[in-house]
Structure 1
Amino acid sequence: MPTGVALRDAREQLFAAAERVLLRDGPNALTSRAVTDEAGCAKGVLHRHFADFDAFLADLVHDSVARLDARTAVLLATAGTGTVADNLTAALVDVFDAVAVAMVGLITFRDELRARLRRTWPTGVPLLTEAMAMVRAYLAAERDRLPDGADVDTLALTVVGTAHLLFADRERAPDSEAVRAVVAAIVG
């Protein structure tokens, strides 16, 4: 007799469930039991697809980072159009959604997860590191529209670090005008 409902794409359903738990209850509440309860499946489903819970979390982070590739392509396509500040603001508002902000907290919270992620990202926090690479690539494409002598690496680090601070409050994200004002001040 079946004990649960068949999952069509177990990985994606488990990832979506983990994101819901993370957003609703925070990183402390993210356990394998909370994820499988949220997904409506047996705990064994998670362990059938992942070696352990930290492997699941590492894949969750990798999946989230992979979504930045599409965002990077969209941002790079805006190079030479609009304003640099407007283009960066739109990208940052998109990148620093509630899930990404909560994921940064999760990475900070779990030592074993950070250790696993160091295999791919030896320094930095994965989502922030990849966001910085995205901004750096965009600013390099916009070099002609930046002030003379602008250091793209420093600007990217400053833009992403500042944006993360603006978005770090899980209860309330800043409005896009506040983000734009800070980005405009940084990129000149």
Structure 2
Amino acid sequence: MRELKFHEQKLLKKVNFVHWKKEKTKDLADIKKFGLSGKEEYEAYTKLVHSIQKIIHMISTLDEKDPVRKKVTDDLCDKLYDMGVIDTKSTASLITIGQAAFCRRRVSVLLVRLKFAQNLTHANTLVQHGHMRIGPEIVSDPAMLITRKLQDLLTWADGSSMRKKVMEYNDELDDYELLQ
């Protein structure tokens, strides 16, 4: 084997050839599972989880008898529950927060879960082409996080061709809508 050049040695200083597979497999699996556009999005969710864990640690350092600790903990549980990140409003559920909890609240993942789309790639194309709306607003970003309240407002856009096809299939298409 030839001797490495200076710039090649500099690049290889940051690479761990022994444990590279172990480090990357979970991240890559989550990126593929939730249809993330790249490692940067996953790292943003990781930073968000770390900041929440830091807040939880700061709260845990307060005295247990302190009424502020109880109030702040309850407020944090309520906010995370309303966001859909945790399933119950108990403080025990704060321990299990991970990147996957935020990834599950993305528009494309919710579309698959709510049976609007068959898979994540189909859900991403539906969102990017403007077939979905939340309330009156058309959604065009598949990375948008949806709260529990907004989840109920997720529907087809008014002029969507997919909406017409679904309504035709279910025999729910109104004659008035055919004229539009």
TM-score, scaled relative to structure 1:
0.25
Structure with more relative contact order (C-alpha pairs < 8 Å, separation 6 or more): 1
- Bigger strand fraction: 2
